[in-house]
Amino acid sequence: MEPYKLTATEVIAQIRDGSLTVEDYAKSLLSRIEQRDPVVKAWAYLDPDLVLKRARELDQIPPDQRGPLHGVAVGVKDVIYTKDMPTQHNSPIYTADAPALDAGCVAVLRQAGALILGKTTTTQFAATVAGPPTTNPHDPARTPGGSSSGSGAAVGDFQVPLALGTQTGGSTIRPGSFNGVYAFKPTWGAVSREGLKIYSLVLDTLGLYARSVGDLEVLADVFALTDDEAVERREGVEGMRFALLKNARDVFPEPGTGTKGAMEKAVRLLRENGASVEEVGMEWPEFGKIPAWHRCIMSTDGRTAFLPEYRTNKEKLDGFLVGHVENAGGYTHKARLEALDGIGALRPRVDEVLGRFDALITPSVLDEAPLGIESTGSAAFNGAWTALHVPVVNVPGFCGENGLPVGVSLVAPRYRDRHLLAVSGEVGKIFEGQGGWTRKNI
């Protein structure tokens, strides 16, 4: 098999047993990218010479000094600082800007031996829905989603096995679904956000992409994610308990055909495989306010976050973000505090309900990726979970009307990240095996 097709776990094994060098692996990825990038356009910055230089340096490290990610390539969303590459935020204010700074997550990855491959495209500051030129690897007429457009597309297209994204609304989970890959938004605060451009301190979370849950677990190890309780390892989903949100319409819109079909099939497959799936309500009067509260927090945090760019380069700032700074939404501080405190009060209540189940199943997206790349699509199914700070995994495996991938989200209480990954691994085997959508080694 061509090395570019390997998962991170497989790359680690082949480099460890000496059957693959980091340099040969890098060359395989670069040739894949060379072949595909003219169509997919997932990269905001990629310097093949730098990649090969770093790959050769990694090959020189003696085996007993190698880290757990030795040689594995990682794409980094271009709102995350990298000290040897530019960080441009898809903003004309920061064209070719290159502060010599590694984000905390990038420093941890490098120390673990990762090969930072390049910077992946994003919407402006990961804060708008205006797409970069990136296309969906499964259909170039469609969006890969956003704001982590390039990371989702590059992993879905076998250009890199792992990538970093961020999520403030649905910026990690949506591209996960549209590109047919696993996407993981850990518990808010569980991974350093040092060196990620700020949109909202309360909402922004690092996101992780891979083509297998095992790969996400390797990343979770590297980022020292732990649960309070040891994770029970089980084969299959027999006896697992899943929840469906009874009052989903209080916070989410009606899903489209692709997602409706995926949800129905997901429930059927879980039941056929011995799991229970039951409806659970979060029917508190405040629950329905979450979408409005999420918008208020995003907008009022954005008011503060983009003041520097507004003051120095207003004419180069996206109109949506100018609106945040100018408070186009007319939010008072009182409204902001009601949103912050209201969401805060719901978090432990939601945790308590989620804690009764192995995971809650909920849509990742409205439907398969829509036509056009101008808009990266709707985050309507994601913002509530982002605001609640709970971990979410997009599990792929289903198919929309036009043959594009559709995933569903699994959700667990805060700091049950490892449990959620373990459950997602078993669920993923079933969904990927019997859901109807198969990842092509394009």
Site of interaction with its own copies (CB under 8 A): 81, 83, 98-102, 104-105, 107-108, 111-112, 189-194, 197-198, 201-202, 223-224, 227-228, 301, 304-305, 307-308, 311-312, 332-334, 336-337, 341, 344-345, 347-348, 351, 414-415
CA nearest to 165, candidates 214, 135, 199, 202:
199
| Minimum CB–partner distance for residue 125 and its own copies (Å) | 11
Residues linked to residue 205 through DSSP beta bridges, in sequence order: 167
Q: Which of 68, 70, 74 is nearest to 57 (CA)?
A: 70
Residue 345: other Cβ atoms inside 10 A = 11
**Residue appearing with tokens 């059927």:** 268
**What gap in Å lies between CA 325 and CA 169, rounded to an integer?**
18
Q: Using alpha carbons, list the distances in angstroms from residue 78 to 220, 317, 429.
A: 21, 17, 31
The 10 Å Cβ neighbour count of residue 379 is: 24
Among residues 28, 41, 77, 212, the one annotated as catalytic is 77
The Cα–Cα gap between 347 and 336 comes to 17
| Closest CB to its own copies among residues 138, 193 | 193
State which residue, 22 or 350, has the beta carbon closest to its own copies: 350
DSSP code per residue over 404-419: -EEEEEEE--TT-HHH
Please report how close the Cβ of residue 348 comes to its own copies at its closest, in angstroms: 5
Give the nearest distance from C-beta 384 to its own copies in angstroms.
Answer: 17
**Which residue, 24 or 351, is less far from its own copies as judged by CB?**
351
Q: Retrieve residue 14's tokens.
A: 């082949």
* Cβ nearer to its own copies, comparing 10 with 102: 102
338 HSE (CA, 13 A, CB side) = 12
User: In the bound complex, what is the minimum distance in angstroms from residue 239's beta carbon to its own copies?
Assistant: 25
Torsion of CA 290, 369, 279, 414, to 10 degrees: -50
Looking at the Cβ atoms of 173 and 190, the one nearer to its own copies is 190
148 is catalytic: no
The nearer residue to its own copies, 262 or 305, going by C-beta atoms, is 305
CB of 174 to its own copies, least distance (A): 24
Work out how close the CB of 341 gets to its own copies at its nearest, in angstroms, rounded to a whole number.
Answer: 5
Query: CA-to-CA distance for 203 and 79, rounded, in angstroms?
Result: 15
Cβ closest to its own copies, residue 171 vs residue 364: 171
Of the listed 91, 147, 149, 424, which one is catalytic?
Answer: 147
The least CB distance from residue 158 to its own copies, in Å, is: 29
At 25, which amino acid appears?
Y
HEC letters along 137-180: CCECCECCCCCCHHHHHHHHCCCCCEEEEEECCCCCHHHHHHHC
Q: How far apart are CA 318 and CA 141, in angstroms?
A: 24
CA distance 252 to 291: 8
Q: In whole angstroms, how close is the CB of 185 to its own copies at the nearest point?
A: 15
The answer to whether 77 is a known catalytic residue is: yes
Report the largest interatomic distance among the alpha carbons of the chain, rounded to a whole angstrom.
Answer: 61
User: Given 91, 148, 149, 171, which residue is catalytic?
Assistant: 171
Tell me, yes or no, if 409 is annotated catalytic: no
Answer whether 380's CB lies under 8 Å from 252's CB.
yes
- Residue closer to its own copies by CB (options 98, 267) is 98
Between 313 and 438, name the residue whose CB sits nearer to its own copies.
Answer: 313
329, burial (CB in 10 Å: exposed 0-12, middle 13-18, buried 19+): middle
| DSSP string for 291-337 | HHHHHHHHHHHHHHHTHHHHHHHGGGS-HHHHHHHTTTT---HHHHH
Instruction: Compute the least distance from the CB of residue 337 to its own copies, in Å.
Output: 6
- The residues that are catalytic are 77, 147, 171
